[in-house]
Amino acid sequence: MSNVLVWVMDAKKVIAICQSGGEFVTNKDGSLSYTGGDAYALDIDHQTQLIDFKSELADMFNCNADTMSIKYFLPGNKKTLITISKDKDLHRMLNFLGDSSTADIFIMSEDAAARNVSNMPASRSSRTTVSEAVVPVVEAADGAVETGTVDDQNNFKAYETPLRAVPPGSSDDTHRKAAQQWENTITGVDQRFNSFSEFREALHKYSIAHGFAYRYKKNDSHRVTVKCKSPGCPWRIYASRLSTTQLVCIKKMHTHHTCEGAAVKAGYRATRGWVGSIIKEKLKVSPNYKPKDIANDIKREYGIQLNYSQAWRAKEIAREQLQGSYKEAYTQLPSFCEKIKETNPGSVATFTTKEDSSFHRLFDGLKKSLAEIFDKCYHGYCLRHLAEKLNRDLKGQFSHEARRFLINDFYAAAYSTKLEGFQRSVENIKGISPDAYNWVIQSEPDHWANAFFGGARYNHMTSGFGQSFYSWVSEAHELPITQMIDVLRGKMMESIYTRRVESNQWTTKLTPSMEEKLQKETLTAQTLHVSMSHHGGSTFEVRGESVEIVDVDNWDCSCRGWQLEGLPCCHAIAVMEWTGRSPYEYCSRYFTVESYRLTFAESIQPIPDVDKPVAVSESSSQALLVTVTPPPTKRPPGRPKMKQTESIDMIKRQLQCSKCKGLGHNKKTCKNTLPLPSLS
């Protein structure tokens, strides 16, 4: 069951036309249409909280607010769905409407989302093909539902212990809401399935929803006969392959129960394999799905109590079931790269393999690409990574305190804009360790020290933005490779659109952060004294805490702040105010709102049918002949071991007592009562 809301905006409020019970239809151009359903109306504005909105929808449609998923289309794009998961997302959606009077919003339960996933281009990246291994679901002797495999002689082999669930008649009866969504997974005679695995999974869900146990009379790769476990109960079902096809069809079914078990809906049990099949769809979308969250979700939705190890094992089973799709994704890589270039003209999409055809790299090594794309540009090293390498290389030679001074002096050398400041800092390092001094000198300071850097670094001394990006997309790093790239594409597409919309509301000449910084420099400039330099022309002398020489026409100040950051320093602004010039005319164009908008003016286009091969053309046929296999790596069993390393921040910020010079405490908590020796 899925729901659609059409929003109509007026000056005071937004009217939500809520439609329920329809279905998605994929059009020829890949766009989505929603048809059918009943309609209701709700009011909403920027004061509406998402939790209240969800609660009202849950009451209206008699569904679970906790498992509700809300999505909407970006204006003018009926192919990509954006998720609303917090208040900011809801209000941002209203802002995106602009002058538009309507917008489509889709609300689905998780189960409905799984059923509709194959119809949604935005979700196709999460659809994978699982191997057609037969994994039957059978009844154990004690009534527990078990999963296992069928051998070459069509004999069933169970492979795990069942898990006990909370009886539906208990106080946890509300947990059966999700299970009740499965009441119609089996509809009767002539219902068809793509495989026996799909039929067995549907039967398992059907039995849970209707609260009865069953056993297999026949269970092989050609036919399945199932009857109610209760003696004398007439309920039974027979399914077999549809002639000349691979489809499985229900041929006979007796739909009525006479057993007491069905009447009272006695408690059921489930296996870790069953839990794995339940979380498999969610694991596709969220590979970092944690065992703790798995246990909480299964308890809330199905009433099954798992401990941590059971949840972890269920995740491993689900992951194993998905491995076929991970391998298949590598074979689709050539086709996927062709689709990128086809849907986004001008894009570079290349990959390389090793001698054994195993995957090596997607796109080009970074250093080579920088030289080709950013020709005649200066390349700065990340100061934080350099400091961590310095700490690792010299850690065994020095105490914690000595390393703290080394790192502080290293940062001071990097941030110093003048040669004398850099030299003073590295001499301090030399006083602690000649080896550390040699390390610093040989580490190419022209790539990380302000005193030697040849271009404008725009005050970016570290690659922290790269770490922020990785955190932003971390949920995708365990996905199949084609799906992973498509998730990144979707996130960047959404980010570009969001920034484009937000920047259209700016009224300043510079971006907000640069505007704020310029204003701070302007306040400082008011305390400085300006006089014409003896050189004349555009050169001026500015006095404050130091004496600096400013050449306005050449955008140069002896403090080097202007050149390095691309924004006029307080000395330059003082001269501009003294000569009646506008500081805005001397800011890097990259800081202007106009440039920011141009950066996000273009859009990244969706890639339809990510998991389907592209049509072979003369230009791409050669590339598609390349075979790509998974890299020869295997994740070790068990939970990954996390190695904790000492943070550079901990070294830099180590608390030091000003009284005894000891570490780990301050003057107030110092227990050393001896006076410090005289330094005179």
Residues 252-274: pLDDT tens digits?
998 888 876 544 333 344 566 66
- Nearest-angstrom CA–CA distance, 271 and 547: 77
Instruction: Of 462, 458, 461, 460, give the one whose Cα is nearest residue 567.
Output: 458
Residue 170: the pLDDT is: 41
Q: Which residues contact 565 (CB under 8 A, 6 or more apart)?
A: 456, 457, 458, 459
Beta strands per DSSP E along 296-448:
351-353, 359-362
pLDDT band at 14 (very low <50, low <70, confident <90, very high): low
DSSP string, 460-486: --S-HHHHHHHHHHGGGTTS-HHHHHH
Task: For residues 635-661, give the mean pLDDT.
Answer: 55
pLDDT band at 129 (very low <50, low <70, confident <90, very high): very low
Dihedral Cα 165, 169, 253, 155, nearest 10 deg: 20
Choice between 56 and 652, residue whose per-residue pLDDT is larger: 56
pLDDT band at 509 (very low <50, low <70, confident <90, very high): very high
Residue 154: the pLDDT is: 37
pLDDT band at 507 (very low <50, low <70, confident <90, very high): very high
Least confident span in 259-268, 443-452, 455-464, 527-536: 259-268
Residue 522: the pLDDT is: 95
Choice between 39 and 562, residue whose per-residue pLDDT is larger: 562
Q: Which residues contact 496 (CB under 8 A, 6 or more apart)?
A: 600, 602, 603, 604
Highest mean pLDDT pick, 20-29, 98-107, 670-679 = 20-29
Task: For residues 408-435, give the mean pLDDT.
Answer: 91
Q: Is the pLDDT of residue 472 over 90?
A: no
Highest mean pLDDT pick, 400-404, 457-461, 514-518, 601-605 = 514-518
Residue 347: the pLDDT is: 86
Residue 640: the pLDDT is: 52
- Nearest-angstrom CA–CA distance, 470 and 467: 5
Residue 572: the pLDDT is: 95
pLDDT band at 577 (very low <50, low <70, confident <90, very high): very high
Helix runs in 62-162, H state only:
87-96, 110-116
Q: Which tokens is 505 given?
A: 């509301």
Cβ(92)–Cβ(129) below 8 Å? no
Residue 620: the pLDDT is: 54
> Other CB atoms closer than 10 Å to residue 625's CB: what's the count?
9
Cβ(104)–Cβ(299) below 8 Å? no
pLDDT band at 123 (very low <50, low <70, confident <90, very high): very low
pLDDT band at 141 (very low <50, low <70, confident <90, very high): very low
Residue 534: the pLDDT is: 67
Instruction: Of 61, 52, 63, give the one whose Cα is nearest residue 87.
Output: 52
Q: Is the pLDDT of residue 163 over 50?
A: no
pLDDT band at 100 (very low <50, low <70, confident <90, very high): low
Digit-coded pLDDT (tens) for 367-419: 677 777 777 778 888 888 898 888 888 776 778 788 888 889 999 999 888 88
- Nearest-angstrom CA–CA distance, 177 and 458: 55
Choice between 209 and 197, residue whose per-residue pLDDT is larger: 197
One-letter amino acid for residue 144 of the chain: A
Least confident span in 134-148, 556-570, 623-637: 134-148
Q: Which tokens is 309 given?
A: 């190890």
Choice between 194 and 625, residue whose per-residue pLDDT is larger: 194
Q: Is the pLDDT of residue 502 over 70?
A: yes
3-state SS assignment for residue 209? helix
pLDDT band at 206 (very low <50, low <70, confident <90, very high): confident
Residue 269 pairs in a beta bridge with: 164
Residue 656: the pLDDT is: 56
Digit-coded pLDDT (tens) for 293-342: 888 888 777 767 778 888 888 888 887 777 667 778 888 888 888 888 88
pLDDT band at 12 (very low <50, low <70, confident <90, very high): low
- Nearest-angstrom CA–CA distance, 557 and 271: 72
pLDDT band at 41 (very low <50, low <70, confident <90, very high): low
Digit-coded pLDDT (tens) for 216-239: 888 887 889 999 888 888 899 999
With a threshold of 0.75, does the pTM exceed it?
no
Q: Which residues contact 643 (CB under 8 A, 6 or more apart)?
A: none
Q: Is the pLDDT of residue 48 over 90?
A: no
